[in-house]
């Protein structure tokens, strides 16, 4: 696998080839994820839950994210590395610029932020200054308290309309990638079809351009998992084989199935 860039993902979307993203937080897993053929790595603020033991991503700081981004980037020269801007690190365009600078200087190739229309101006300013942006819509975990829990989003026609409008607006603002989390599969399919930019799904059905899972979930290490999670370690002899099984299942269309989706 050569060096993956956002243009690689654009071409994969155009040709209908599915791409894979796995979260990583350190150099060793980052290397293995590259070796098993995942095109992208997400240094997710999920590290607050799976590494730090918090019950949400809210306590994660920009310092935590920069540290783990540096570790991940040292381990893997070929995958596209996306790093999460953590809670309250992008409340204004200027603050987002400073926070994103830390992650890009730590080695990230793109930053991810949760939110829709209200982020348009911030996204345009980052993009204008050469920082590629991945947006995140649907169940945005930094808003867990506002949602009243980790709940599926976009089930009512009003919510679905608003998520679709947000997706179009963030694309128009210059976002290059979009994560859709825990929304009905028909809505994710519709958004993926309508947008030119690649869309990565998690609990969003089979029709997005790529799939992402939190590494600890797909390796069967998490105690309570959502409907969309599959334990890819089942029947495998090594962690590399488990990660490769996820990559192969996404590429062949074997994951996700109907059993992993919301309606
Ligand atoms: O932080 C994270 O791992 C994420 C994924 C759940 C998409 O944002």
Q: Which residues line ligand 1 (CB under 6 A)?
A: 23, 42, 44-46, 84, 179, 181, 202, 212, 214
| CB-based contacts of 108, cutoff 8 Å, min separation 6 | 43, 69, 73, 81, 82, 83
| CB-based contacts of 192, cutoff 8 Å, min separation 6 | 180, 199, 201, 207, 208, 209
Digitized pLDDT (tens) for each residue of the chain, 263 residues in all: 789 999 999 999 999 999 999 999 999 999 999 999 999 999 999 999 999 999 999 999 999 999 999 999 999 999 999 999 999 999 999 999 999 999 999 999 999 999 999 999 999 999 999 999 999 999 999 999 999 999 999 999 999 999 999 999 999 999 999 999 999 999 999 999 999 999 999 999 999 999 999 999 999 999 888 999 999 999 999 999 999 999 999 999 999 999 999 99
Alpha-carbon span 65 to 43, nearest angstrom = 7
Distance 214 CA to ligand 1 centre (A): 7
Cβ 88 vs Cβ 57: under 8 Å = no
Q: Distance between alpha carbon 171 and the CA centroid of its chain, in Å?
A: 16
**Catalytic site includes residue 98:** no
Q: What is the pLDDT of residue 170?
A: 98
Residue nearest to atom 8 of ligand 1 (CA): 44
Q: What is the CA radius of gyration of the chain?
A: 17
Q: What is the pTM of this model?
A: 0.98
Q: What is the pLDDT of residue 224?
A: 81
Alpha-carbon span 40 to 180, nearest angstrom = 16
Beta-bridged to residue 112, according to DSSP, are 84, 134
């Amino acid at each position: 696998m050569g060096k993956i860039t956002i243009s690689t993902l654009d071409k994969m979307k155009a040709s209908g080839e599915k791409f894979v993203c796995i979260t990583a937080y350190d150099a060793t897993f980052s290397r293995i994820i590259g070796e098993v053929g995942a095109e992208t790595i997400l240094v997710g603020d999920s590290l607050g839950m799976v590494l730090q033991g918090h019950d949400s991503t809210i306590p994660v700081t920009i310092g935590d994210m920069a540290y783990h981004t540096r570790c991940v980037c040292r381990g893997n020269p070929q995958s596209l590395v996306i790093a999460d801007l953590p809670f309250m690190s992008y409340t204004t365009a200027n603050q987002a610029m400073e926070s994103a600078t830390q992650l890009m200087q730590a080695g990230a190739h793109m930053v991810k932020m949760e939110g829709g229309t209200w982020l348009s101006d911030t996204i345009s300013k980052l993009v204008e200054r050469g920082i590629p942006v991945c947006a995140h819509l649907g169940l945005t975990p930094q808003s867990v308290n506002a949602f009243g829990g980790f709940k599926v989003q976009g089930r009512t026609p009003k919510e679905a309309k608003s998520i679709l409008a947000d997706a179009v607006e963030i694309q128009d603002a210059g976002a290059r990638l979009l994560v859709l989390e825990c929304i009905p599969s028909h809505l994710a399919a519709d958004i993926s079809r309508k947008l030119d930019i690649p869309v990565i799904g998690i609990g969003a059905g089979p029709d997005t351009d790529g799939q992402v899972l939190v590494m600890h979930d797909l390796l069967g290490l998490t105690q309570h998992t959502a409907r969309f999670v599959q334990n890819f370690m089942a029947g495998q002899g090594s962690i590399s084989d488990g990660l490769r099984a996820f990559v192969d299942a996404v590429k062949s269309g074997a994951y996700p199935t109907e059993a992993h989706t919301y309606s």
